Amino acid sequence: MPNGETPLPAFDLVIRNGTVATATDVFAADIGVKDGVVVALGQVLGAGAREIDATGRLVLPGGVDSHTHIDEPRGGPTVNADTFATGSASAAAGGTTTVIGFARQGRGEGVRQAVEEHLARAAKSRIDYSFHIILTDPNPAALAELPGLIAEGHRSLKIFLTYDGARITDGEALEVLAAGRRLGALTCIHAEHHELIAFHTKALVAAGLTLPKHHAWAKPMVVERECVHRVCAMAEALDAPIQVFHVSGGESAEEIERAQQRGLKVWGETCTQYLVFTADDLDRPDFEGAKFLCSPAPRSREDQAALWEMIRRGVIQNITSDHAPTRFDGPGGKTVFGRDAPFTKVPNGVPGLAVRMPVLFSEGVVKGRIDLPTFVNLTATHAAKLFGLHPRKGTIAVGSDADLVVWDPERRVTITHSLIQDGNDHTPYEGMEVTGWPEMTVVRGVPVMEAGRIVAPEGHGTFLPRAPYEMIKPRGIFPGFFNPVDGVAV
């Protein structure tokens, strides 16, 4: 360097003196970022145009939340409380840098049309995003649209086996599983026994038992356990990889474990709410219980313990928010039919994008149930791998996107709605005390949240197309003599 000239910084951003954690390792390192990518991990890095001192802090991969309903039209009188501008702000407030949402085909509608409409809505996102394609009407014309869409990177499908207006038959589900297997897409399933729920609900209404708490009475664990077993059998018969959404307790997780023990490519996720809420929360006074009304319903303390055990055993490796934001009092919210509405009229779902990582860190790492690498795996790495985003997302490595969270592991926070930064009017986690909170969230090298302030503009996020990947390749093993997907003997 000639005399008198100041060298240009080697990096756009350097995060120094932090403790870096991945799903496998915890180590002291500085992180050098250039052009949105991690280009150096080391202990004597040169200067950055911006330098962050992370002394006493953890530096984690940004969270990957693979189950979020942001700005997804709900239909009927229910209104989704978040646009992608607010939903992505809330995600960043809680340390999440990638979301996978849903492009939902309505009955009788085209699939590409749904995807293009959702891409337009997602253009406001401050963090990166991808979609699952919801098929509510997998007719031949809709299935014929899938090869093109999957090739464009929409590499996961979602189906419902319950909910009027969304559910498909088992026969239709088999067509979707077969299409996913052929085309290299993972099928995700909302698995509850529709007719059992309908039968319970009819009997509850006839008996005048329609408080929010009776939502849980309409769908006891057997409703979920039976359906999880059924979809595992369907996945086995077609050699089709699946992820079962929102495994809510021990009996369903046991079905997932049995499928895995048979070698099947069956994965299960659980959600933050099933680890901290129970059916008792649905019985809070003054209709507050409606804030906890989601499907499957929150269960028991014993189910929570069983889920933690299944997490410890590695049966469940993905924890999502299933962020489904409806306001409480606001338009189209939980009280849209009044504070004495029957549970059958209360919009389903809980918001939880911002609290997913803090609650799991506090309940998991701080309380000694899981270690730090397991936390990283549960909140980022596994979801990135399962949905074909790894190693671009979900880890801290040279060449990965600089999606980073500077995390204060000791900060004690009482959760209140103002911290959540979403479009909602409440959080069901109000008043919960947690230890550990994100201090800064960085997406591709650009700070999105700093000290609780959202600092990146709408539109900073980018769509993440997903290329074919190994993890969801079919095994090529069928339980019988015949491959029914391709119509050939095995």
**Contacts to Mn ion by CB under 5 A:** 190, 322
Least distance from Mn ion to the Cβ atom of residue 354, Å: 17
Closest residue by Cα to residue 330 from 429, 416, 417, 449: 417
Select 260 or 348, whichever has its Cβ closest to Mn ion.
348
Instruction: Kindly state the smallest distance separating residue 12's Cβ from Mn ion, in Å.
Output: 36
Nearer to Mn ion, 169 or 416 (CB): 169
Shortest distance (Å) from residue 157 CB to Mn ion: 14
Going by C-beta distance under 8 Å and a sequence separation of 6 or more, which residues neighbour residue 207? none
Task: Give the tokens for residue 44.
Answer: 């004597």
Task: Tell the residue number behind the tokens 């009044």, with chain if given.
Answer: 338
Q: Which is nearer to Mn ion, 212 or 325 (CB)?
A: 325
Cβ 9 to Mn ion, closest distance in Å? 43
Please identify, using beta-carbon distances, which residue of 70 and 380 lies nearer to Mn ion.
70
Nearer of residues 216 and 372 to Mn ion, judged by Cβ = 216
Question: 123, 84 in Cβ contact below 8 A?
Answer: yes
Of 248 and 441, CB closest to Mn ion? 248
Q: Which amino acid is at 160?
A: F
Of 190 and 225, CB closest to Mn ion: 190
> 323 or 390, CB closer to Mn ion?
323
Cis bond before residue 474 (omega within 30° of 0): no
Shortest CB 137 distance to Mn ion, Å? 18
Rounded least distance, CB 90 to Mn ion, Å: 16
**Contact assessment for residue 26 and residue 48, using Cβ atoms and an 8 Å cutoff:** no
- The residue of the chain with the least Cβ separation from Mn ion equals 190
* Nearest residue (CB) to Mn ion, 5 versus 164: 164
Q: Which residues contact 200 (CB under 8 A, 6 or more apart)?
A: 217, 218, 219, 220, 223
Nearest approach, Cβ of residue 158 and Mn ion (Å): 8
Find out whether 475 and 486 touch, Cβ atoms under 8 Å: no
Shortest Å distance, C-beta 72 to Mn ion: 9
CB of 170 to Mn ion, least distance (A): 17
Smallest gap from Cβ 106 to Mn ion, in A, equals: 16
Would you say 39 or 221 has its CB closer to Mn ion? 221
Closer of 66 and 421 to Mn ion (Cβ): 66
In the complex, what is the shortest distance from the CB of residue 267 to Mn ion, in angstroms, rounded to a whole number? 15
CB of 246 to Mn ion, least distance (A): 6
- Residue 25 CA to chain centroid, in angstroms? 23
- Residue 471's Cβ-side half-sphere holds a number of Cα atoms within 13 Å equal to 19
Question: In the complex with Mn ion, which residue's Cβ is closer, 94 or 438?
Answer: 94
